[in-house]
Amino acid sequence: MKGGGRRGGGEYGRGGRDDGDGDRMMSQFAQIPTSFGHELRACLRCRLVKTYDQFRESGCENCPFLEMDKEHDNVANCTTPNFTGIISVTDPSRSWAARWLRIGRFIPGCYTLAVSEELPEEYQTVCADNNVQYVPPKR
């Protein structure tokens, strides 16, 4: 007689499923605003729209050099709650609206059609230092 009545060994708990697809998608997308209340703000340079908290948590995906994270706290200076209209862009390079808004090279996300304020001059200098074009709003 061989073996014996041992059954069911060797099965490790393999609970987790390993499709990391969701995460990879997210990294190519700007955060989508989690609310549409008054705390919604638009980046003065690229017009990306997110909540104040989202800008503070992870800055602007298109403008990392504006350093809106917690340490530098530039959110209030580099974003505005005063903007008109909002558009969600999933493929900026192929969207005529995105090209018209000059966001064709930005990452997918929610953008506003127009901001009424200019980026403060010191941050325009930061843009120039980073070889980034800043287009002031039309008056």
Binding site for Zn ion (CB under 5 A): 43, 45-46, 48, 60, 62-63
Rg (CA), the chain: 22
The nearer residue to Zn ion, 2 or 126, going by C-beta atoms, is 126
Backbone angles phi, psi at 123, to 5 degrees: -85, -25
The nearer residue to Zn ion, 21 or 71, going by C-beta atoms, is 71
The nearer residue to Zn ion, 20 or 98, going by C-beta atoms, is 98
Shortest separation between residue 135's beta carbon and Zn ion, angstroms: 12
Shortest separation between residue 54's beta carbon and Zn ion, angstroms: 12
The nearer residue to Zn ion, 63 or 126, going by C-beta atoms, is 63
Shortest separation between residue 75's beta carbon and Zn ion, angstroms: 11
Shortest separation between residue 119's beta carbon and Zn ion, angstroms: 9
- Our separate counts of H helices and E strands in the chain read 5, 5
41, β-bridge pairs: 50
- DSSP secondary structure, 52-112, as one string: HHHHHHH--SS-GGG--STTT--HHHHEES-EEEEEEES-GGG-HHHHHTT-TTSPSEEEE
Q: What is the DSSP letter of 15?
A: -
